[in-house]
Structure formats: C-alpha cells, structure tokens
C-alpha cells in the first residue's frame, strides 16, 4: 500500500507530458499497479523477466541509489523528506548521457518546447 500511495502521489504531481507511461521491473511492490494506473492516469508496463536491456535507466539509477542506500536497506526508516532529498541530488547530478547536463535541466528544456 505504501508503494501504491507514494507512486500515486508522485506521479500525479508530474506534468501531463511526463506522465505518459511507467515501465517497471517484475517486483512484487507493484502488485497494486492497476490502482496506480487508474488513480495517477498513467499506463504501466512491465519488463520481461531476465531482460535488463528493457530497463537500462532503471539499472543505472539503481547503481546511483546504492550510493545512498546500500542493497537491502529498509527504506521505511527514512522520511519522505529524506527520500525527496536523494531524488533532488540525483536529478541535479550531471550525466554523460545528457552531454553532462542534469536530468532537471533536460526536463526543463523538454517542457519549455
């Protein structure tokens, strides 16, 4: 329920242009994906098992998140403020993939078109 509620809250806050679809891994945390789809008005897709190429940005982001939360960390001990801080840090970090712009800069550029 906490994953469902958190996704609905965060996804609903995104501009429509960024809320077209969500592709997720085969984890049990998305067992209530139909409720998220309806409440956040977003299409949800699942990657095929054992197909990491279908979730490239997910794999990269997981690696970056491990710098803050080692594998197996219980995220329930962190507040939403803590998690938002890490999201801000990651979205303000330059990426080679974006010619060393940050994800925030790329999104701003996209939304201003």
Q: What is the pLDDT of residues 41-97, one digit of tens each?
A: 899 888 888 887 887 777 788 889 999 999 999 988 999 999 999 999 999 999 998
Residues 64-92 as b/e (b if ≥16 CB within 10 A, e otherwise) read ebeeeeeeeeeeeeeeeeeeeeeeeebee
Q: What is the pLDDT of residues 65-79, one digit of tens each?
A: 999 999 999 988 999
Sort 7 into a burial class: Cβ within 10 Å, 0-12 / 13-18 / 19+: buried
Judge whether residue 3 has pLDDT over 80.
yes
Judge whether residue 25 has pLDDT over 90.
no
* More confidently predicted of 27 and 40: 40
DSSP-derived 3-state class of residue 43: strand
Domain ranges of the chain: 1-46, 52-113
């Amino acid at each position: 329920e906490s994953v469902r509620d958190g996704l609905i809250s965060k996804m609903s806050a995104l501009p429509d242009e960024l809320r077209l679809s969500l592709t997720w891994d085969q984890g049990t945390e998305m067992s209530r994906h139909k409720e998220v789809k309806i409440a956040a008005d977003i299409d949800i897709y699942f990657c095929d098992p054992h197909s990491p190429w279908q979730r490239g940005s997910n794999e990269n982001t997981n690696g970056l998140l491990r710098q803050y939360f080692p594998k197996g960390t219980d995220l329930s001990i962190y507040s939403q403020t803590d998690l938002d801080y890490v999201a801000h840090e990651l979205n303000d970090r330059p990426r080679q993939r974006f010619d060393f712009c940050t994800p925030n800069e790329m999104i701003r550029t996209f939304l201003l078109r």
